Structure 1
């Protein structure tokens, strides 16, 4: 039996075509994918030689759907169950997991379970993934689109919890993409007093205002460092998060934070690239720098619970729902800044 999938054959070469439907594992299940989010990391992978020539490949990790088939040895889930499939899986046995940093699980085989394959109509879920966890049921009154935000919200949730964003913080976020918008909204929920958003794109900045952003700064028009100093009476912000894939914003971020403040490097930058930092400024101003990636098991579950709760305005984040056939259009909408969050429907015919 065949299914439709968006298959990557190389950088910017994504073809929606028929491929073989995966077989159901004896101790697992087949999930019929009802919605899958288009993530910034997906776009980076799809537009670069992410697999070093090892193609074809199917990306997509913000997966929600309905159990379509269960293996004869699977007992936890039944056909028709609505599930959110978190891509990360943790062994809970290695030193990292035991110390509370399951986002850095060193068991690579376990960590890779059900991590991708979502740009398709079906995905197979192994029994080990079911046993290890990271699969959450979707309430009947929650849309598949809303549930799909449980994955991109996870790392943001963990970051703001780990650095204790709270009242009366003045927070600077560099990067008004989907992640930056999630950060702004969650920062306000956590009690931040002022959120300053910096970006090069006026369209993104304008859209960001609806997520609790108090002040926007277009860094192509004015010096963002001087702007932050002006907005903080010369002190600098309590916390600054660089949420872009650019080394330059990391360099700038330490000049925007107050003495004794905290800077977070959230966005991944090109592999092998180096960031220039004024180390005397870091030293004499007692600036702390933290790298952030992923979320612990506890944080991933609580982030999902927030995403599907009335507290979080999910509908404002999803600006475009497109059929899987239009994945390339979704990529362009996101890159241009015209979309905040694109969710794809594998079962729409266009």
Structure 2
């Protein structure tokens, strides 16, 4: 089969790879219909390189069941599916408590096991999630990032009537805008330095957009909220700068949840850090998209709201490309050669 294999930073190759084969009775092989680029893929491509040289890459996808092991009962050949890409060990302290996102040996396809930038991918049956007819393959390829977002929002116990600030209007931030509204947020404030992203955030449900370029975000937000701040801050930009600024946006007794990953040291100046202490903030880290029973309610909840049309991901998709365009596309993204939102690859194209 054809696949995108990562050999090193900025060394991605479209080439032949072995077809996956059933090794265990609980294995499922999926014919990949659509696979999307994750923000973490960009950082690994540009800076970090692969866990294993030449590994088939990618973990956000949807497809059709092609083969199943003899013990598989939850899906059958021909089913339309997506799948949780996370692989947990099942034996560590945290797995034994059902805290799978904290697994000591947590991995994801595309790291130590072949991923979904390929014609076929293999996963355990428990990872596979069936799709209703109303959810197309393009939409379903974003079930994984949506599950990441709702996993974090669950931690905050968001309530109807909360005011919410979302920092960063990439895929995670735009999904967070919609999830905040689904949870009943009164006002959603989207923050970014790109006006086009802020307009899209408002199209998808944000009540206000704040361009934070060259300003202190908390000054503008507090002006707009009557000097109160917001109940919940979602940091989804993954920038060292915004990761520090996030503490300044919450009201007294408010909550801050971090979904973005800053690939650099976060230097928190005194004013920002004092907000944690003086305002008695609750601060949450959120990792991955899994809980018990595995893979967690995040997945079925996402599929449900996609089916109901409450999660609209189509405006976020900017590119529909063949898999062989992968190497050139990643180069364009890191060189900022054009506007890229969610990029989808089609192995059959």
**What is the TM-score with the length of structure 2 in the denominator?**
0.86
Other-structure match for 2:274: 280
1:274 and 1:221 mapped to 2: Cα distance? 19
Aligned residues of 1:203 and 1:338 also touching (Cα < 8 A): no
Aligned residues of 1:150 and 1:305 also touching (Cα < 8 A): no
Match of residue 158, structure 1, among 147, 151, 155: 151
| Residue 335 (structure 1) shift | 8.1
Aligned pairs (5 A) from 1:204-283: 204-270=197-263, 273-278=265-270, 279-283=273-277
Per-residue CA deviations over 1:297-345 (Å, capped at 9, x if unaligned) read: 2323322333343332233333332221222465445985833322211
1:100 and 1:123 mapped to 2: Cα distance? 26
Other-structure match for 2:43: 44
**1:292 matches 2:286:** yes
**1:340 matches 2:332:** no
2:109 and 2:325 mapped to 1: Cα distance? 27
Aligned residues: 336
- Cα 1:335–1:342 shift into 2, 3 Å: farther
1:329 and 1:237 mapped to 2: Cα distance? 41
Aligned pairs (5 A) from 1:125-164: 125=123, 129-130=124-125, 133-164=126-157
Other-structure match for 2:31: 32
Aligned residues of 1:166 and 1:187 also touching (Cα < 8 A): no
Other-structure match for 1:58: 56
1:227 and 1:64 mapped to 2: Cα distance? 41
1:212 and 1:334 mapped to 2: Cα distance? 29
Match of residue 99, structure 2, among 92, 101, 108: 101
Q: Which runs of 5+ in 2 are unaligned?
A: none
2:11 and 2:229 mapped to 1: Cα distance? 44
Other-structure match for 2:14: 16
Higher deviation after alignment, 287-296 or 16-25: 16-25
| Residue 177 (structure 1) shift | 0.5
**1:167 matches 2:165:** no
**What is the TM-score with the length of structure 1 in the denominator?**
0.86
Other-structure match for 2:4: 6
1:327 and 1:120 mapped to 2: Cα distance? 11
Higher deviation after alignment, 239-248 or 306-315: 306-315
- SS at structure 1 position matched to 2:200: helix
- Cα 1:184–1:112 shift into 2, 3 Å: closer
1:193 and 1:334 mapped to 2: Cα distance? 36
1:288 and 1:281 mapped to 2: Cα distance? 11
Aligned residues of 1:176 and 1:198 also touching (Cα < 8 A): yes
Aligned residues of 1:16 and 1:324 also touching (Cα < 8 A): yes
- SS at structure 2 position matched to 1:47: helix
Aligned residues of 1:225 and 1:255 also touching (Cα < 8 A): yes
Aligned residues of 2:109 and 2:115 also touching (Cα < 8 A): no
Aligned residues of 1:89 and 1:113 also touching (Cα < 8 A): yes
Q: CA RMSD in A?
A: 2.6
- Cα 1:313–1:112 shift into 2, 3 Å: closer
- Cα 1:230–1:100 shift into 2, 3 Å: farther
2:45 and 2:242 mapped to 1: Cα distance? 23
Higher deviation after alignment, 74-83 or 12-21: 74-83
Higher deviation after alignment, 137-146 or 301-310: 301-310
